[in-house]
Amino acid sequence: MSLLIRASQITPLATKIAASSYRLPVAWTQRANSAATFATTVQKRGVPLLFTPGPLTTTARVKEAMLVDLGSRDTRFMNVLANIRSGLLALGGVSQEEGYECVIVQGAGSHGIEAVLGTSVPRKGGKLLILSNGAYGMRQAQICEYLGIEYNLIDFTDRKPVDVTALEQALAEDSSFTHVGMVHHETTAGVINDVKSVGQFLASEYPKVELVVDAMSSMGAYELPLKDWNVSYAVSSANKCIEGVPGFCFALCKRSSLLAAEGNARSFCMDLYAQWKGLETTGQFRFTPPTHVILAFNEALKEWEEEGGVEGRFGRYKQNYDIICAGMEEMGFQYYVESQWRGVIITTFMQPAHVPGWDFDRFYRFLGDRGLVIYPGKLASGLSFRLGTIGRISPDDCRDLIDAIRDALRDMDISTPIPPPLTSSS
């Protein structure tokens, strides 16, 4: 089931979601109380392990790359930048010779989404249709609100993928859409959306409508061939499945789309076309780049290739996911998303709030004291938490996490398997 939401309705809806977002656990403000335990654990393991969707645990090799100081106009740095741009295009199954470009933008992943939407959708006659099944699809709508971009949003449940049938109906009823926006892996609940079906449908029935994909937490672990899937823009971030550190995002784009977007930008700094022209003509950023972050990412990209690219990276993440799911099922934790819709990036579990003794802050703190960092839930309704399986973590690390979760339950005097709630949500 989906709900078509007009632009005029989005502000109260966004406010409602923001109001229901998770609160920071008390554990985050109580770290000093358990500093000794934490320090001992980290000393034993070496680093904390982040079971999160990003930022992630990174290798010493990636961290060490940031110890080098290079000027932003240094030839060595410009060569690294050129290497990264070509490497990322190859990751998307395309090249400059085939008419595609990689544009690197300073900032978080959301900066990249804003740069693409704010530049690609024409000021006059442009209209975006957003397929949303979570907070990151909703974020595209919020960006449109700020930038004054005309849009409609189809709001799906966050427990299932977006429905191509609803897209077909919306486009049949309104021929004014110039762009469609969606998320490949919706990190809110951990659902994988079918970008291929959406892109190929547009290519067949609406070839002039451009597809914008938020591939933040999928690119590098899931296939996303831009040309084959008819993707005009795919946006991702340094600190996700390539396992770099935060500081920049990037957009893989059709060159024809970029050329057509000249003059559309609603922002000087977030002008994707101008950023691309600067990189192409000078080999440099228009403004100060995060040099150390880019050097780290260059090493991360080499590690990604050495692990076997998408296939190798997905394979390790799938192992991590299988181990965590098996352990959590054995302890009686309930999933929020059915198995056929889940990705292997992050998994949402419902808090067993019906069980006497359960205390999420205590649970979170217990794991954190042992150098194991998880994420609270991000659902609009229901108490949950999320376990990420990406970053430089291994199957053995995931087994350690499962053992620590068992210990945490014992610490709260909770027996396993945890009984399901009397009435489970549908």
Give per-residue pLDDT as tens, 239-284. Answer: 999 999 999 999 999 999 999 999 999 999 999 999 999 999 999 9
pLDDT in tens, 371-401: 999 998 877 667 999 999 999 999 999 999 9
Structure tokens, 307: 């692990």
- Residue 352: how many CB atoms within 10 A of its CB? 22
Structure tokens, 255: 């060159």
* 384/358 Cα distance (integer angstroms): 12
* Residue corresponding to tokens 């996303």: 224
pLDDT averaged over the chain? Answer: 91
Q: From the centroid of its chain, how far is CA 72?
A: 28
CATH number assigned to the domain covering 61-306: 3.40.640.10
| Percentage of the chain lying above the pLDDT 90 cut | 86
Annotated binding site: 386
The CA-CA-CA angle for residues 107, 125, 229, to 5°, reads 60
Q: Give the Å distances, CA to CA, from 326 to 145, 323, 332, 343, 347.
A: 42, 5, 10, 15, 12
Range(s) within the chain of domains with CATH label 3.90.1150.10: 23-59+309-411
Q: Which residues of 128-144 are buried (b: 16+ CB within 10 A; e: fewer)?
A: bbbbbbbbbbbbbbbbb
Annotated binding site for substrate: 386
| pLDDT (average), residues 135-140 | 98
Q: What is the DSSP letter of 216?
A: T
Is the domain covering 23-59+309-411 a CATH 3.90.1150.10 domain?
yes
Whether the pTM exceeds 0.85: the reply is yes
Tell me which amino acid residue 398 is: C
Q: Where are the beta strands (DSSP E) in 107-232?
A: 128-132, 151-156, 179-183, 185-186, 191-192, 210-214
Q: Band of the pLDDT at 326, cuts 50, 70, 90?
A: very high
User: Is the N-terminal amide bond of 419 cis, ω within 30° of 0?
Assistant: no
Q: What is the pLDDT of residue 305?
A: 98
Nearest in space to 234 (alpha carbons), one of 247, 253, 221? 253
| Percentage of the chain lying above the pLDDT 70 cut | 88
Range(s) within the chain of domains with CATH label 3.40.640.10: 61-306
Q: What is the DSSP letter of 426?
A: -
* 143/158 Cα distance (integer angstroms): 20
